[in-house]
Amino acid sequence: MTEHESSEKTVELSDAILPRMKHFAGVMSASLPDAVDYLLRWALEQREAMPAIVGARGQREGAQSDPRLDWWREVKFGMFIHWGLYAIPAGIWDGKEIPGIGEWIMYRARIPVAEYEKLAEQFNPVKFDAAEWVSLAKNAGQKYMVITSKHHDGFCIFDSPCSDYDIIDRTPFGRDPLKELAEECAKQGIKLGFYYSQTQDWHHPDGDGNDWDYDPAQKDFQKYLDELVKPQLRELLTQYGPVALIWFDTPKGITKEQSQELLEFVKGIQPDCLVCGRIGNQLGDYASAGDNRIPGEAVAVDWETPATINDTWGFKVNDHNWKSTEDLVRKLIDIVSKGGNYLLNVGPTAEGVIPEPSVERLLGMGEWLKVNGEAVYGSKPGPFQGLGWARSTAKPGKVYVHVFEWPEDGVLRLPALSQTVNGAVLLQDPAVELKVEQSDEGLVVHGPAAAPDAMAAVIIISLQD
Ligand code: FHN
């Protein structure tokens, strides 16, 4: 590894990339740091220029009117959990910090299967407590939970009879966390879904991605689908009661026929189980936005943004780049105001503990939702779109204005509404009527001079039938 200072951050170049970067810098007649800087900026621009929801991860035709999604349309906010062997190295391999997201350590450090597998012998999350995790989701106001049953590293944190690369056969822990979570979710009224990496599997000789142990030219992807993916999906869909959804990921080169096969396979076992847009080939029950991506405007399909609280998904001991609670609350509102769901991730440690900064922020969000949840759950995008200082959601007869920047005079100047307004109140203090002036020019609501909630104060505008 070699380190190069780009103008904003230190970038580590792996031995595999360094010669290519040097060549690129030569072609550009630039210094190596300048070339790295240029490429980083270019990559960021490309990402921003890409739509937040790409077609292949979009919603299947007909799913928009499917009542099986009704619960999902109501819930708005879920907990994502990335948990696996990668929590043990937690971003560090052979004493070196491995750049990138924690669950990719096997790939980024090109760790041979034989070596990575040994981590299982150390996986003993004695502090794992399903009741605690589910209660945290509940107190955060999250209504569904999605946990990695098998991530790209191929290791299953559930009892998989068709493979011995799982938590029961390989670890001293010997318990099935998915079983415990399924029981606890049923008890506490949280929907449970399973993440399953259907394309990438760096452990299986025929799975996608591992070109350091296996020759890509020799791989038989269909064999991997038939001999591992489908049997494991059957296990997930028969061992844990009703499964709310299967969260497929990184479809990459999966063909339309193969995505369709997986879709039918899932529905054939549990017809009500949803599949996310990352099944690929626009076959999802709902669309999946890019990681941490929020569309610029309301989107007229069912969609979800998966997102991190810091930068990594799987636990990384040195990732301290935590978003603030205010930022997270506003992201939730922004997403809901555009018709989406927010699936917010936690990466528990190898001991089974959800990092404290995540807990704090989730509980903070829960506090906000306890007061303002009415404006979020079951709502639709509101009529005021594109305002920088506020967002809006709506329910029959009501518009909710979520104010991010409270005006200094406490007077909220909104665009005109076509329906007659009956009145306005603050959601946190509904007994106090606010003065409203409605005209063709706009709607003016006189609120208190000071922001009632610095994160987001919600005004309810009641409309005449
Ligand atoms: O490669 C994965 C990544 O590890 C993580 O699971 C995220 C979550 O949305 N999905 C993929 C990248 O988009």
Question: 166-186 pLDDT, tens per residue?
Answer: 999 999 999 999 999 999 999
Residue of 54, 79, 85, 101 to mutate, ligand 1, most atoms within 8 A of C-beta: 101
C-alpha span between 268 and 271 (Å, rounded): 6
Q: What pLDDT sits at residue 330?
A: 98
The finding on whether 313 has its CB within 6 A of some atom of ligand 1 is yes
pLDDT classification of 11: cutoffs 50, 70, 90: low
Distance CA 450, CA 406 (A): 8
> Model pTM?
0.93
Q: Give the pair of three-digit tokens for residue 433.
A: 């009527």
pLDDT digits (tens, 9 = 90+) for 117-129: 999 999 999 999 9
pLDDT average, residue stretch 424-431: 98
19 confidence band (pLDDT: 50, 70, 90)? confident
Other CB atoms within 10 Å distance of the CB of residue 463: 17
More confident residue, 40 or 108: 108
Q: Ligand 1 in contact with 34 (CB < 6 A)?
A: no
- Distance from residue 249's CA to the centre of ligand 1 (Å): 7
68-97: per-residue pLDDT in tens?
999 999 999 999 999 999 999 999 999 999
pLDDT of res. 119: 98
What pLDDT is stored for residue 333 in this prediction? 98
Residue 208 Cα to ligand 1 middle (Å): 14
Ligand 1 in reach of 239 Cβ (< 6 A): no
- Over residues 250-263, the mean pLDDT reads 98
d(CA 278, ligand 1 centre) in Å: 10
